[in-house]
Structure 1
């Protein structure tokens, strides 16, 4: 899957959970959604892309969820 598609989907997930008033719950929602519905390869590819492009346009909730993935690894 292309990086552009992964970024678009990740940002849509982040936007969906942005209405959650509790930031920690929102981050956990993004994390759990990616963990449940994305393949491990998709998640690794997004994390690798983010590492190479630290100034990328990922939703802040997605960035926080990616940090949780990195900590869990």
Structure 2
């Protein structure tokens, strides 16, 4: 899968959780979704891209979800 598609999908997930008033819960929602429903290769590719590009084009909730404690690529 292309990185552009991964970014698009991750941002869509973040948009869903953005309505959560508690930001920590929103970040956990994004992280849990990625860990439950994305293949490890997809998570690794997203993390590598974020690391290389410092999160450019990623929703802030995605950035927090993949860079925080508890993230498993």
So what's the TM-score if we normalise by structure 2? 0.91
What does residue range 24-43 of structure 1 map to in structure 2 within 5 Å?
A: 24-43=24-43
Structure showing the higher helix proportion among its residues = 1
RMSD: 1.3
Equivalence map 1:1-73=2 (5 Å): 1-54=1-54, 56-68=56-68, 69=71
Give per-residue Cα distances to partners, 1:26-67, cap 9 Å, x unaligned.
Answer: 000000000000000000000001111115110000000001
TM-score (norm 1): 0.91
Q: Structure 2, unaligned stretches of length 5 or more?
A: none
- Matches of 2:55 and 2:66 in 1, distance apart? 14
Greater relative contact order (Cα < 8 A, sep 6+) = 1
Helix, strand or coil at the partner of 2:57: coil
